[in-house]
Structure 1
Amino acid sequence: MQLPQLKSFVTVCDTRHFTRAAELLHVAQPSLSQQIKALEHELGTPLFRRARGNITPTDAGAALLPVARRILADTELAYREVADTVDLRRGRVRLGAPPSLCASLVPDIFRVFHDRYPGVELTVDEGGSQDLVRTLTDGELDLALIITHQTGRPAALRVAELLHENLVVASAPQLPPPGKRARITVADLRDQPLVMFRRGYDLRESTITACREAGFEPTFTVEGGEMDAVLGFVRAGLGLAVVPSMVAERSGLRITRFTRSGPERTIAIAHRRDVQPPRAARELHRMLLEHLRSADANGELPPETTLLAEAFAPAE
C-alpha cells in the first residue's frame, strides 16, 4: 500500500469520478486507474462500484476511506514537522557550558540565536568541563563549551579551540586594591583572603594550582560558592576571587590584572565525532563563531582575551 495509491483512492472518493480525480492529481487517467487496480489487488477486494457516471465506494472502500485520510494527514504533518526543523522554525539545542561561560558568553549567544529562531528550544547543562565531556560523549548534549586544560582533546570528540583568556582578580571597589602595582603576580595573593568556588569548578583548580606553583597554599574566607555567590561575597568585601575577564567585565567589581605569568585558560567547543550535530546545533555553532569574530573586530572582547585561529573552522 503506497501513498500515491491512497491519495488517488481518496480523490476518487471525493470526486466520484476517475477523470476529474486524474485532473486534480495532474496524472493521466490510465495511470490513476492502474493505481486503484493495484490497491484493490493488494487488498483482495474491489473498492469502487463502477457504473457509468456513478462511481461509489464499496463497503470495503467506505471502511478504508477514514483510515486513508488519517494516513495522508499524518504524512503531511510529518513532512511539515521535518520542514520546520530543517528551516529552524522548531527544534532543540542542548548546550553544555561551565558556569563562568553561562554568566558571560552564553547569554549573548542565546539572545542572538533566540531572536532569529524563536521556535527552537534552548537548553543548557551547567557544569564542570570534565562532567560536560562525559555528558556529551553519552549523547545527552549536542555541543559543549569546555576548558581544554582540564579535559585535553578526548578522542571521541571533535574539539575546536575558540578563545584564550587570562584570569583576573576581582575585588570590592570600596576596599584597597590587592597590590601596590597596576599588575600583580600570583605570589601577591599569598596573604590575601580569597573567596573560593565549590569543588568541581575549573576555576577552583586553576587558582589553587597557580598558588601552589607560586609556593603557597591559598587562604579562603568563604568556600563552596557558585559564580553568582562568589561575586556577591567579593562585592560584600569578604575577599578576592580569581575569575575570567569576561565575567569580571560584567561584574561591576574592581579588576586587577596579572602579569604575563598569571593563570589562564583556553575555551573550546566540542561535539561527538561519530554523530553530526542537529541542524539547530550547527547553526548555533556558526552564530557563536560569527559573534566572536564580530566582537573581536569591533574591539569588544576583553583585552585579556584572544580569539584563536581554530575558531574559524567551519562547524561540521
Structure 2
Amino acid sequence: MTIKQLSYFLAVVDTGRFTQAAALCRVAQPTLSKQIRTLEEDLGETLLTRGHDNVTPTAAGEALLPLARRIVADSETARMEIAELAGLRRGRLRLGATPSLCVSVVADVLEVFHGRYPGIALQIAEGGSQDLVADLQRGQLDLALVIDRGETVRDLALTPVLREELVVVAARGRPDLGEHIGIVELAAHPLVVNREGYELREVTLAACAAAGVTPRIAVEGGEMDAVLRMVERGLGVAIVPSLVLAGHPTLRATRLDESGEHADRGWSHRTISLAHRTDVAPTRAAQAFREDLLSVLARTSRTGHLPPGVRYVHPPTLTA
C-alpha cells in the first residue's frame, strides 16, 4: 500500500469516474486503474464497484475511506513540515474557528502572525464547533478554536483560552425583553437557531429540555450571519455569543438569568479552547500561531480591549 495508491482511490471515490480521477491526479487512466487494482490485490478485497455510469465504494472501500483520507492528509502535513524547517519562510497553517471568533479574535491574531511569517499560507475553516472537531480528528486542520464542554475528546488536547457570555438578541423596535430573561420565559418567544453542527444549537435546546419547556422554533438551519440577519428582520430571538454583537447596532442584547428554580446553572457562559491532535506533533507553524494567540489575548486582556462579555483564561504552559 502506498500514499499514491490511496490518493488515486480517494480521487475515484470523490469524482465517481476513473477518467475524471485520472485527470485530477494528472496521470493516464490505465496507470491509475492499475495502481488501484494493485491496492485491491494487496488488501485482498474489491474496493470499488465499477458501474456503467459511475464508480462507488464497496463495503471494504467504505471501511478504508476515512483511514485513507487521514493517511493522505497526514502525509501532506509531513511534506509541509519539512518545508517549514527553513525558518518558517514557507509552509501552511490550517485553522478552524467558530464564526463569532473569525470576525473578532482570529482576525487580530492572524494580523500579527502574518506580519511575522508572511510566507505561511493561511487556510481558515469557519463552522460549528462539532464540525471543526471532526475536521481536526480527520487531519484536515492543524488547530481549531472550539467550544470546550469539559469532556474528553478522542485524540485531541484542548487548552482553555477564553470565557465568553451568551446573550439573547432581539431586533430593536420589537417587544423589550428587559435586562434579564430566564429560559422558561425565553421559550415563549419564537426562536431562531443554528443548523446542526453548532454547539450553540445543542446548548439552547438542552437548556430548554432541562427547564422542562418546549421552545417555539421559528427558523432553524442557518449559519451565524444568517441567524443574526433573521433576528434583525424580526423573525424571532436567538441565543448568541456576545462577541457577535459588534457591527449589529439594530440588535438589542438581554442577559440570560440563571437564578430561577428551573435554570440549568452555568450554561450562559462557555469556554473556548485551542484544540490540536495528540497523535501527531503540532507543526512549527501551528506552534508559532499558538504563541501569537496567547500573546495577543494576554495583551488585549491587560489593556481592557477584549469584547464585552469575554475574558481571557490564563492557560498552563502549552506543550506539543
Change (3 A) 1:173 1:99: same
Specify which of 217, 228, 235 is matched with residue 214 of structure 2: 217
Q: Structure 1's 130 and 223: CA in aligned 2 closer, same or farther, altered over 3 A?
A: closer
Report the residue type matching 1:87 in the other structure. G
- 1:233-253 per-position Cα deviation (integer Å, ceiling 9, x unaligned): 111122111001111244332
Query: C-alpha separation between the residues in 1 aligned to 2:281 and 2:84?
Result: 19
Match of 1:306 in 2: 311
Q: CA deviation at 1:120?
A: 1.2
Shift of 1:193: 1.4
Equivalence map 1:222-237=2 (5 Å): 222-237=219-234
Contact 1:207 1:242 in 2 (8 A): yes
Deviation at residue 303 of structure 1 after TM alignment = 4.2
Q: CA separation in 2, counterparts of 1:188 and 1:264?
A: 19
- Distance change (3 Å), C-alpha of 1:191 and 1:83: closer
TM-score by length of 1: 0.67
Against the structure 1 CA distance between its residues 83 and 193, is the aligned structure 2 distance closer, same or farther, given a 3 Å change threshold?
A: closer
Residue aligned with 1:206, SS: helix
Q: Work out the CA distance in 1 between the residues paired with 2:94 and 2:126.
A: 11
For the residues of structure 2 that align with 1:298 and 1:263, how far apart are their CA atoms? Answer: 25
Distance 1:86 1:92 in 2: 13
How far apart in 2 are the matches of 1:276 and 1:84?
A: 14
Contact 2:84–2:284 (8 Å) recurs in 1: no
Q: Identity percentage over the alignment?
A: 47
Q: Which runs of 5+ in 2 are unaligned?
A: 1-80, 259-264
Q: Answer whether contact 1:86 1:279 (CA < 8 A) is retained.
A: no
Q: Judging changes above 3 Å, is the alpha-carbon distance between structure 1 residues 116 and 173 closer, same or farther for their aligned structure 2 residues?
A: farther
Structure 1 counterpart of 2:21: none
Match of residue 268, structure 1, among 254, 262, 273: 273
Residue 173 of structure 1 and its aligned partner are, at CA, apart by 2.1
Equivalent residues in 2 for 1:21-60 (5 A)? none
CA-CA distance at 1:269 after TM superposition: 0.7
Instruction: Name the CA shift for 1:154/1:102 in 2 (closer, same or farther; >3 Å).
Output: same
| Aligned residue identity for 2:172 | P
After superposition, the CA RMSD in angstroms is 2.3
Which residue in the other structure is 1:292 paired with?
Answer: 297
Q: 1:92 to 1:154 in 2, by over 3 A?
A: same
Helix, strand or coil: the match of 1:101?
A: helix
Structure 2 CA distance for aligned equivalents of residues 278 and 189 of structure 1 = 45
**Larger helix fraction of residues:** 1
1:120 aligned residue = 120
Query: Is 1:185 the equivalent of 2:182?
Result: yes
Unaligned runs of 5+ in 1: 1-80
TM-score normalised by L of structure 2: 0.66
Aligned length: 232
1:161-211 CA distance string (max 9 Å, x none)? 1122220111212323223xx222222202111111112211111111112
* SS of 1:309 mapped into structure 2: coil
Contact 2:193 2:222 in 1 (8 A): yes
Q: Check conservation: 2:164, 2:311, Cα contact below 8 A.
A: yes
Partners of 2:96 and 2:145 within 8 A in 1: yes
Partner Cα separation in structure 2 for residue 114 and residue 132 of structure 1: 22
Q: Deviations over 1:229-287 (max 9, x none)?
A: 11111111221110011112443321211235452221111112232211111111111
